[in-house]
Amino acid sequence: MRDNGATATLESMRLLLRRQPTEPDARLRLAALGAGSAGAVAVGAVAIGALAVGALAIGRLSVGRGEIRKLRIDELEVGRLRVEELEVVGSEQPTP
């Protein structure tokens, strides 16, 4: 996949967060914990091209049927998917 900057990163994050977990908060827990998902490692590698990302900020991100208003990753390493700091603000799930 060719990396086209923010557009490619946004699409990769959508692919990462598209999965439908059994719990409503599982997506955020998976993102916060980082390790434990081989799919997350693969998508992360595509998203950043095996390079560290510094201060990635996304203003508004649609996740399946939910929405994350702000996502900021200060450091992401793709070997065993190490995340130094992850801040998610304004996560919503639609009411059934």
Distance CA 64, CA 7 (A): 18
Q: Which helix (H) or strand (E) holds 63?
A: strand 61-63
Using the Cα atoms of residue 16, residue 63, residue 70 and residue 3 in order, give the sign of their dihedral: positive
Q: Whole-model pTM above 0.75?
A: no
Distance CA 70, CA 9 (A): 14
**Per-residue confidence in pLDDT tens, the chain, 96 aa:** 444 555 556 666 666 665 545 454 555 555 555 444 444 445 555 454 434 444 444 455 555 556 556 666 666 666 766 666 666 666 555 555
In this structure, are strands 53-58 and 86-92 parallel, antiparallel, or unpaired?
A: unpaired
Nearby residues of 50 by Cβ (< 8 Å), 6 or more positions away: 78
Tell me how far CA of residue 30 lies from CA of 1, 5, 20, in angstroms.
24, 24, 12
